[in-house]
Structure 1
Amino acid sequence: MQGRTLFLCALLLLTPALKAQQAASTILTVDDLVRAGIQNNRDLAAVRERIPEAQGLKRQAGVRPSPTLGLTGITGKPLGTLGEDQYGADYSQLVETFGKRGKRVQVAEYAISIAEADYQARVVQLGFEIKTAYAEVLAEQRKLKVLNDLIAVNQEMLRLTEARVKEGDVAPLEANLLKVEISRAEVSRRSAQGRLVSAELELRSLVGLEQATPIPNVDFSVPTTVELDALKQKALESRADLKAARMEEEQEVAGIALAKAEAKPNVTLSAGYTRQNSQFDDLYGFNTSGTLSPLRDRDDILKFGVSIPLRTSRSGAGSVQAAAARSSGARLRREYLDRTIPLAVESAYQNWRTAQDSLQMLREGVLDPSAANLSVIREAYRLGQLRLLDVLNEQRRLVDTQLTYIDAQADVARTHAELERAVGGNLP
């Protein structure tokens, strides 16, 4: 029994670690992060519930009106009036006319498509937020590595410089300059660490990752060339908000037909049965046994009826007018998206291409030459041809260039994610 208890305790302790290991093995790329966010994000799950809600409303829209059953009874016995009784049952059925039920179902079907499109739009938005948050995390990780490498290099230089100061080869000022430079880099590193923690928390919140699940460290798979015209065409075909606007426009057109049908009267069919017993106190007759008794009368009555509300042309005019206004508004929103979506795609595309060009220029025209310059200056300093201050200045310029290059990499990732959002889905 004790061994079994120990086994269960060990299993409970290992379960969270196994789950974290399983989650880590499945999240290897940025697309894995997006898929995990779609699966785990509670806000997105709440939006997804609108689809079965719309499906339930469609089902309810197709329900026929329920019949009505009424039971009646009249008696004078409690008030001392004997011999007068009447009992009956009534059944009535509302019959919807002019295809009201079918038009309600049609409007509800459009509501399902709109809910699905809204969910897809939220999926695209969540993917954009996750990718931009990951770009921020990746940028801060890279900046932290640059600063860590800088501190390690400066600490090694400080160790060698202090040894040379003891030998009297260099002035103590050089060691002090290195100490100041290390302190400057340490301040920058702590700031980068703080930004990295905040960025990781934001990403974990979007994706729904536990603290034990590691965040992957991979580059974005960004295509180098895409055709702008093809992107515009894809956006007009794939944008979920445009799909929702088109469905809303069709729904409101169907809503006009429903409002016109609702303005017309329905028909109520009814049927009833009544049994009426009456006693004539002043009239007597012989019953079947030959005994003299008051005369009684029993009537069984069936009744039928049709009722139609008397409506005028003004009865539903307000509802029809409101439905027409909603239809016009939906059409205007759809036309607005038709015109602005290609412009948004082109703007995002130009931003992305500009970010790519800037990144290439930084890499080829600034970063690589700056790294080569620092190597030459360090060698010249080692040979005694330059001062330490020259090395530190060039090193500072290289670090600033590296940090700018990292920002440019993140900008390429962000603008590409923005282009995907403008198009309405992942790019090939």
Structure 2
Amino acid sequence: MGTTASARGALLLVPGIICILSSTPVRGEEQALSLPRVVELSLQNNGDLNAFREEKGIRDAGKVRAGLLPNPTLELEAGTGALTGSKDENNLSIGISQEFSLAGKRDKRLTIAARDLEIYRWQLTDRERVLREEVKTAFHDAILAQKRTDLADRAIDLNRQLLEVTRERLAAGDIPELEMNLVKVELARSEGSRIDVAKELSQSQARLWTLIGLPGGESPALAGNLDADVPMATSLLDLKRLAGENRPDIKALEAEKSRGEADINLARAEGVPDLTAGLFYSHERRTDATGAGEEKVRDNLLGIRLSLPLPLFDRNQAGIQEARARRSSAESRLLAATRNVERDVETAYARYLNSEKVLSLYKATIIPQLEENLHLTQEAYRLGEVGILAVIQEQKKFFEVSEGYLTALHDRRTAFVKLEAAVATELTGGAQ
């Protein structure tokens, strides 16, 4: 009977591990979220992103403000001689004036407002790019944590099966009691590991739910796996070219540089003073003394006023210098960002290639050899050629290497996500 139970435990081991590595279970009838759906929800519901979207109203208001004309000025003046003993003398003047911008200042301000709106749009696109990377990475982290939990559950099940085998063999007098105690220790260790990986799963899911913007209390299942093929037929040179064409942070800096040119044009125009033109009406009543007596005089005047500051000392030299400094700063940041983007692409591409190499070692050599070793050890234990310690060690090694294989799968997926974010392109098709 002991031999039959031992063989039964051995036959259940490897197929269960392969099943864990190949898929992620979905609980009951609960609708699982795929990676595209998770990204879509995050772009819709992420709090920080939605808050930044609301800032578009600030840019729109700036464009409205830039297009408005200055308000006209109403001037009213009245005087009387009643308080100084000349009650028959008084005057009244009313006028309205309007400031007119010269040198095309209004159009130049509208150009700057349009540049600000363009910068904002590219900044919003870049935040969406960064959020996609964070969400995809968090999604794969949660999938990895789920698979580690499943692997820990399988380890507990196998240790329980092995404990049943040792109990039956102990009852048959085939092994000493020490072997059963060793299996009990191994079972307790695997249960402790299950608690740790369950905590990691909870933390990974909580971070993902935060990025998605799910209400509290919701915890949907995830549909995804780590071992799906990731095609990569694009060369490093083409990836750099795509990054240069598609990176929204580079586009935002280019728009900022263009805004610097518009700032200089406006600063030069502001060196030309604005003209103020006004229309006024004046009524004056007074008494003139003549040789024949006093004569009451009434004068009504209608005229215009023109006001233009003389640009003798201030021709906005400081404003022009400030605008030039801003443009130089934008050019420097654009140059540095372009170099950094190329470096990011190179680093992400090298990381992806390295992850592929590590994963190929697991698939071609490590996993198949480990499975064979585990089968041989289990068969030797069934025949009584090795003790329980050898089975425990080989089984422990198998689970450790299986977890390493999961990590290698996860590293490849996250490396591909990092590469897509660096290029700002969905390498499976389409720009982000």
Q: Could you tell me how far apart the structure 2 residues matched to 1:274 and 1:283 are?
A: 28
What is the root-mean-square deviation of aligned Cα atoms in Å? 1.8
User: How many angstroms does 1:167 deviate by?
Assistant: 2.5
1:120 maps to a residue whose letter is T
User: How many angstroms does 1:201 deviate by?
Assistant: 0.7
Q: Secondary structure at the match of 1:131?
A: helix
Q: Could you tell me how far apart the structure 1 residues matched to 2:267 and 2:243 are?
A: 34
Partner of 1:218: 224
Q: 1:420 to 1:318 in 2, by over 3 A?
A: same
Partner of 2:376: 376
Q: Could you tell me how far apart the structure 2 residues matched to 1:284 and 1:427 are?
A: 104
User: How many angstroms does 1:237 deviate by?
Assistant: 0.8
CA contact (8 A) 2:143 2:222 kept: no
1:169 aligns with 2:174: yes
CA contact (8 A) 1:146 1:399 kept: yes
Partner of 2:251: 243
1:135 aligns with 2:123: no
Q: 1:50 to 1:283 in 2, by over 3 A?
A: farther
Q: Secondary structure at the match of 2:88?
A: coil
CA distances 1:158-202 after superposition (whole Å, capped 9, x unpaired) = 012112212322110110110111111111111101111111111
User: How many angstroms does 1:313 deviate by?
Assistant: 6.0
CA contact (8 A) 1:139 1:406 kept: yes
Q: Could you tell me how far apart the structure 1 residues matched to 2:313 and 2:75 are?
A: 33
Identity within the alignment, % = 31
1:65 maps to a residue whose letter is P
Partner of 2:13: none
User: How many angstroms does 1:28 deviate by?
Assistant: 2.9
Partner of 1:86: 91
2:224 maps to a residue whose letter is V
Q: Secondary structure at the match of 1:84?
A: strand
Partner of 2:38: 33
Corresponding residue pairs, total: 396
CA contact (8 A) 2:35 2:223 kept: no
CA distances 1:262-303 after superposition (whole Å, capped 9, x unpaired) = 122111112210011113478877xxxxxxxx6311100112
State which drifts further: 305-314 or 366-375: 305-314
CA contact (8 A) 2:281 2:301 kept: yes
Partner of 1:349: 349
Task: Note the 1:81-230 alignment, pairs <5 A.
Answer: 81-210=86-215, 211-219=217-225, 223-227=230-234, 228-230=236-238
State which drifts further: 307-316 or 168-177: 307-316
1:52 aligns with 2:60: no
Q: 1:284 to 1:162 in 2, by over 3 A?
A: farther
Q: Secondary structure at the match of 1:83?
A: strand
Q: 1:313 to 1:296 in 2, by over 3 A?
A: closer
1:404 maps to a residue whose letter is G
Q: Could you tell me how far apart the structure 2 residues matched to 1:333 and 1:209 are?
A: 37
Q: 1:365 to 1:284 in 2, by over 3 A?
A: farther
Partner of 2:10: none
Partner of 2:322: 322
CA contact (8 A) 2:348 2:422 kept: yes
Tell me which of 40, 56, 63 is aligned to 2:68: 63
1:366 aligns with 2:370: no
Task: Note the 1:324-343 alignment, pairs <5 A.
Answer: 324-343=324-343
Q: 1:353 to 1:283 in 2, by over 3 A?
A: farther
TM-score (norm 1): 0.88
1:392 maps to a residue whose letter is I
Q: Secondary structure at the match of 1:234?
A: helix
1:183 maps to a residue whose letter is A
CA contact (8 A) 1:269 1:305 kept: yes
Partner of 2:7: none
Partner of 1:298: 298
Q: Could you tell me how far apart the structure 2 residues matched to 1:53 and 1:310 are?
A: 35
Gaps of 5+ in 2: 1-29
CA contact (8 A) 2:209 2:219 kept: no
CA distances 1:302-355 after superposition (whole Å, capped 9, x unpaired) = 122211111136531111111111111111111222333222212101101111
1:216 maps to a residue whose letter is L
Q: Could you tell me how far apart the structure 2 residues matched to 1:161 and 1:56 are?
A: 77
Q: Could you tell me how far apart the structure 2 residues matched to 1:325 and 1:226 are?
A: 44
CA distances 1:204-260 after superposition (whole Å, capped 9, x unpaired) = 111112332403131266632131222211111110110001000010011111111
Gaps of 5+ in 1: 1-23, 286-293
> Structure with the greater relative contact order (CA < 8 A, sep ≥ 6): 1 or 2?
2
Q: Could you tell me how far apart the structure 2 residues matched to 1:65 and 1:256 are?
A: 22
User: How many angstroms does 1:54 deviate by?
Assistant: 1.0
1:387 maps to a residue whose letter is G
CA contact (8 A) 1:61 1:105 kept: yes
Partner of 2:15: none
CA distances 1:119-178 after superposition (whole Å, capped 9, x unpaired) = 111111111111111111111111111111011011011012112212322110110110
2:116 maps to a residue whose letter is A
Q: Could you tell me how far apart the structure 1 residues matched to 2:47 and 2:229 are?
A: 29
Q: Could you tell me how far apart the structure 2 residues matched to 1:372 and 1:284 are?
A: 137
CA contact (8 A) 1:33 1:130 kept: yes
1:91 maps to a residue whose letter is I
CA contact (8 A) 2:352 2:419 kept: yes
CA contact (8 A) 1:135 1:413 kept: yes
Q: Secondary structure at the match of 1:72?
A: strand
Q: Could you tell me how far apart the structure 2 residues matched to 1:378 and 1:217 are?
A: 34
CA contact (8 A) 1:222 1:413 kept: no
Q: Could you tell me how far apart the structure 2 residues matched to 1:260 and 1:108 are?
A: 17
State which drifts further: 105-114 or 271-280: 271-280
